[in-house]
Chains A and B, each alone.
Chain A
Amino acid sequence: KQEVTQIPAALSVPEGENLVLNCSFTDSAIYNLQWFRQDPGKGLTSLLLIQSSQREQTSGRLNASLDKSSGRSTLYIAASQPGDSATYLCAPSQGGSEKLVFGKGTKLTVNP
């Protein structure tokens, strides 16, 4: 059974800082991994999807890396802004299926 851990659980940084969010998963037999953001009381917005054959994906100020063999992914946010404040969720696909398994997330607060 896939288990996902996200560290840290919460992070508070001043505006402009670069930061890294970490995600680890126990079953390396994944097909892809997605990073989402969730705003309070809202649904999820997909940020990046990395296929199992890929090492990283980039979108604007976001860069996600994947080390499938070691069960790790990181989300790098450059030049953070107050609008980046949200909970970031990591979700690898459960081994052998298309189902996503979510971590508890990292709650990010970017202070002006």
Chain B
Amino acid sequence: GAVVSQHPSRVICKSGTSVKIECRSLDFQATTMFWYRQFPKQSLMLMATSNEGSKATYEQGVEKDKFLINHASLTLSTLTVTSAHPEDSSFYICSARDRRDGWYQETQYFGPGTRLLVL
């Protein structure tokens, strides 16, 4: 149980294009999903917290107009990197909380990640 999938696993795009990454909780409902970014040899950095049916909360320094997050259902959140540039190349990972878990009692379940390369 508690499986989170991401699609695509890898994407290469040209500078200026937009890329959409999907994060799905396969066997549970997730009221909250998190989006992280990891640069080589760096720690995972939280980009934003996504709550179903409401606007995402972005961390300081993350451009909300560049990284569009939509959490339209209890099992799906999407991250769209708009007008991607080479500096956006990174490993993007999502995680999800099971809505049945209590506040602060939960484990976050992570997806396998999406590697983005912008040429």
Q: Please give the residue numbers on chain A whose beta carbons come within 8 Å of chain B beta carbons, in ascending order.
A: 4, 31-32, 34, 36, 41-46, 49, 51, 89, 93, 98-105
Contacts and interface: CB of A to CB of B under 8 A. Distances in A.
Nearest to A48: B107
Nearest to B103: A98
Given A104-B41, A105-B43, A98 B110 contact: no
A102 B43 CA distance: 6
Contact of A44 (B46, B93, B106, B115): B93
Contacts of B115: 41
A49 B107 CA distance: 7
B104 A89 contact: no
A93 B106 CA distance: 11
B103 A103 contact: no
B108 A4 contact: no
Contacts of A36: 110
A45 B42 CA distance: 18
A43 B5 CA distance: 10
B110 A99 contact: no
Contacts of B41: 104
Nearest to A9: B41
A25 B78 CA distance: 31
Given A98-B106, A104-B41, A42 B112 contact: yes
A104 B115 CA distance: 18
A43 B106 contact: no
15 contacts: A32-B104, A32-B105, A41-B91, A41-B115, A43-B4, A43-B110, A43-B111, A49-B107, A51-B104, A89-B43, A99-B34, A99-B46, A100-B108, A101-B46, A102-B44
A34 B104 CA distance: 12
B28 interface: no
B110 A46 contact: yes
A101 B95 CA distance: 13
